[in-house]
Structure 1
Amino acid sequence: MGAPYFKYRDQLAEAGVVVRSSNYTLYADISNRVMRIIADMVPTVEVYSIDECWADFSGIAEREALGRAIRARLLQWVGMPVGVGISTTKTLAKLANWAAKKWPATGGVVDLSDPVRQEKLLRIAAVDEVWGIGRRLAPKLALLGIRTAWDLANYDVGTLRKTFGVTLERTARELRGISCIDLSDGPPPKQAICSSKMFGTKLRDLAPIQEAMATYVSRAAEKLREQASLCGALQVSLQTQVHDPHKPRYANALTCVLPVPTDDTRDILQLALRCLQRIYVPGYAYSKCAILLTDLSQRGEVTADLFAPTPRRGSEALMAVMDHINKREGRGTVRLGRVPADPDWGMRREMKSECYTTCWEELLHVCG
């Protein structure tokens, strides 16, 4: 995990490993297709991440049968194999999903609603397989004799709360079948939004770094509007490479407050470029810049400042039109003039797979 490709290029080639660069457009499209299919088959869906969601099975008698139907439809319609875990709480459902993936004999679906089956799995599942535990917390739990999910479920919740906090107490209660985490329609709005990527090549001049910053600001502002938030402050950072200790290093960041909270890409970019100008130092080979939007609020939450500058006229409508066009025609169809369509500094993805589902020119060709 996380090993640089160039270090193992020769070994991978000798082993015949097929290497592919990241293809975020394809990932997002497949994820959206999967979520839409699941949403058509269950009463309520909560999207948890790009490859995971919760589904409400309340009132459904044949739960396992529905789980297998969902799995079969996704495999047939999208070609995506999935695991389905079913139980009375989110934490138990996650553990059931782990079991569905671990043991092929389950057929990819495990219903853990029955208390007897719950106990059987809890006794054999290591505690670090429990949702939210992880391998850092597991050794600390082992010192208390908690090595399996069953041990955690039956440990004194008061001691867990006092030692580790309310989150772990809640996890233990969920393992006992007591629902503590409700199903919601979606994740809460993010408290900060970051956009950043490594440059495909080292940049020394300010102009291409400004182009990159404009690109990242545009994406961050899109995310901001997706959750209907306004940005009150931002942080701009710039850095050189960190792997080679023999090459000159430089890193700096600057935080600035916007005159008024906004979601207008133009206003955010204007301030971001001023910050970038202040931290840029000539003579270095830069490898990365980043934009972090902070002090986020929802529309109507913040009282307007009588002495603040008047917001741009028609800003909200313009941004809405831009987002609508880009959502319908593809990201980047309408963009600021500073954002290049195919930048030289873009992330290197020479081995990227084709965008089979979103680009006409890259559709699969079948010869008879």
Structure 2
Amino acid sequence: MSKAPVFALIDCNSFYASCERVFRPDLAKVPIVVLSNNDGCVIARSYDAKPFVKMGEPYFQIKHKLKQHGIVAFSSNYALYGDMSERVMTLIESMVPAVEVYSIDEAFADLTGIADLDQLGRRIRSQVLRCTGIPVGVGIAGTKTLAKLANHTAKRLQAQTGGVVNICDPFKRDWVLRNTAVSEVWGVGRRLSTHFEGMGIKTAMDLAKADPWMLRKKFSVVVEKTARELAGTPCLELDEPDPPKQEICCSRMFGKRLQALAPIKEAVATYMMRASEKLRAQGSVCKKIRVSIRTGMFNPEEAKYANGVLVELPYPTDDVRLLTKAAVDALERVFRPGFNYSKAEVLLMNLSQRGQYTGDLFAAAQPAEASRVMMVLDQINERWGRGTLRSASVPVDPDWGMRREMMSRSYTTRLDQLWRVSCT
């Protein structure tokens, strides 16, 4: 007889803020917020900052509030966060039979057949905190949706639960379902929860007891699976692969307004370098691109301009050299002098997997040499770090780059910024 499946969700608490605290013990009890690109708005908050700051609040509007409540702001340091995430996930993988990394700060684990689930959850939490300094919550249940709900409860009632909640027991599961609003269920957004509340579905228990076939007919098969999972029927397996993206976009605000064409070309080449990496990572090729630029749209004293152009490529490709040339040539067609540009975007379109595209028998195709060059490019960058090998048009340290005036040091990814401890 096969054993009932058991899943765990391990989720880092206030991950970005926790990463900043690891190497700043003086901030252990200081509220923290982390800002978006160009220090635009709040994208992460420590638990003690949440009562004072809302997600998405523009930084320039809340500077006084941060100072008033003693909240420290950091620019986003994605190199540090990515490295810390890899360390956390590597530790988790060493302690459980199978892992699905769900996001930069979350991982599902398969705990089927393990005897003392609570003890394992506490050991995972203790080991990750000891080895990385990152606090995590662990939710354990018979389905992935319930594990997500258990994890939410572990963080919400951390003082009582110690950060680990196991709801494999039906009594505990029902308590959590009754005491969780339907809006907190994984995959239930604001609009969907409004529909549910209009139907009298206000708690997770209400959704678990709803007719799954009615939910499928009225909403979707995804909602039906959510309800079945809340009721204890596993519908989601570990490591269900996401389908390849049909479009890939890379878009950034410049660190300052740009008027000349040359630095905007550098930005477009840089964005295309990143977009092509994502393209090759999912094994796709691209047949069409769109390049667009725009000025700031909210300053009444600045002239407004926005434009974009579509470019058909000669053949489906993942060659960054061809993609970059096409993008830069397209930029020249839409650029207009006399404007203060704030943003550029490259969009890869008409994507297909290698070998799935059927073109004209006599049409040009990407040379085999180009594919080999791209493979070597990716291998070098994977081994030695992104940007080690890049297109000549991509600058090392551009003056138009993101404005990150409050960024912490890259303690774990740069030798010149390692943590220094002095013995006195």
TM-score normalised by structure 1 residue count:
0.96
Does the 8 A contact of 1:44 with 1:185 survive in 2? no
Instruction: Tell me which amino acid in the other structure corresponds to 1:111.
Output: N
Aligned to 1:287: 342
- The separation in 1 between residues aligned to 2:94 and 2:282, in whole angstroms, is 23
- The separation in 2 between residues aligned to 1:60 and 1:297, in whole angstroms, is 41
Runs of 4+ that moved beyond 4 A? none
Query: Is 1:9 aligned with 2:63?
Result: yes
Query: Is 1:98 aligned with 2:152?
Result: yes
Does the 8 A contact of 2:302 with 2:340 survive in 1? no
Aligned to 1:64: 118
What SS does structure 2 have at the residue aligned with 1:83? strand
Query: Is 1:167 aligned with 2:226?
Result: no
Does the 8 A contact of 2:319 with 2:374 survive in 1? yes
2:390 to 323, 331, 335: 335
Cα gap change, 1:60/1:305 in structure 2, threshold over 3 Å: closer, same or farther?
farther
- The separation in 1 between residues aligned to 2:152 and 2:377, in whole angstroms, is 41
Aligned to 2:79: 25
- The separation in 1 between residues aligned to 2:70 and 2:207, in whole angstroms, is 43
Query: Is 1:109 aligned with 2:159?
Result: no
Structure 2 matches for 1:182-193, cutoff 5 A?
Answer: 182-184=237-239, 186-193=241-248
2:332 to 262, 267, 277: 277
Aligned to 1:194: 249
- The separation in 2 between residues aligned to 1:177 and 1:185, in whole angstroms, is 19
| 167-176 or 308-317, larger mean C-alpha shift | 308-317
Runs of 5+ consecutive residues of structure 2 not aligned to the other structure: 1-54
Aligned to 2:405: 350
Does the 8 A contact of 2:316 with 2:365 survive in 1? no
Query: Is 1:239 aligned with 2:294?
Result: yes
Instruction: Tell me which amino acid in the other structure corresponds to 1:265.
Output: V
Runs of 5+ consecutive residues of structure 1 not aligned to the other structure: none
Kindly report the root-mean-square deviation, in angstroms, between the aligned alpha carbons of the 2 structures. 1.5
Does the 8 A contact of 1:235 with 1:291 survive in 2? yes
Q: Deviations over 1:239-286 (max 9, x none)?
A: 111222342211122222322111111111111112222222221111
1:257 to 312, 319, 325: 312
Does the 8 A contact of 1:89 with 1:181 survive in 2? yes
Q: Shift in Å at residue 186 of structure 1?
A: 4.4
Does the 8 A contact of 2:316 with 2:366 survive in 1? no
Instruction: Tell me which amino acid in the other structure corresponds to 1:302.
Output: Y
Aligned to 1:83: 137
Provide the identity percentage: 52
Instruction: Tell me which amino acid in the other structure corresponds to 1:236.
Output: V
Q: Deviations over 1:154-207 (max 9, x none)?
A: 112222222222221111111111111121264332222211111000011111
- The separation in 2 between residues aligned to 1:93 and 1:260, in whole angstroms, is 46
Aligned to 1:326: 381
Query: Is 1:212 aligned with 2:259?
Result: no
Instruction: Give the paired residue count.
Output: 368
Does the 8 A contact of 1:46 with 1:186 survive in 2? no
- The separation in 2 between residues aligned to 1:11 and 1:166, in whole angstroms, is 44
What SS does structure 2 have at the residue aligned with 1:20? strand
- The separation in 1 between residues aligned to 2:367 and 2:351, in whole angstroms, is 19
What SS does structure 2 have at the residue aligned with 1:19? strand
Aligned to 1:48: 102
- The separation in 2 between residues aligned to 1:125 and 1:135, in whole angstroms, is 15
Q: Deviations over 1:86-114 (max 9, x none)?
A: 11111101100100111112111111111
Query: Is 1:146 aligned with 2:191?
Result: no
- The separation in 2 between residues aligned to 1:258 and 1:38, in whole angstroms, is 43
Does the 8 A contact of 2:289 with 2:348 survive in 1? yes
What SS does structure 1 have at the residue aligned with 2:172? helix
Instruction: Tell me which amino acid in the other structure corresponds to 2:79.
Output: T
- The separation in 2 between residues aligned to 1:245 and 1:125, in whole angstroms, is 45
Cα gap change, 1:84/1:186 in structure 2, threshold over 3 Å: closer, same or farther?
farther
Does the 8 A contact of 2:99 with 2:108 survive in 1? yes
Aligned to 1:74: 128
Aligned to 1:315: 370
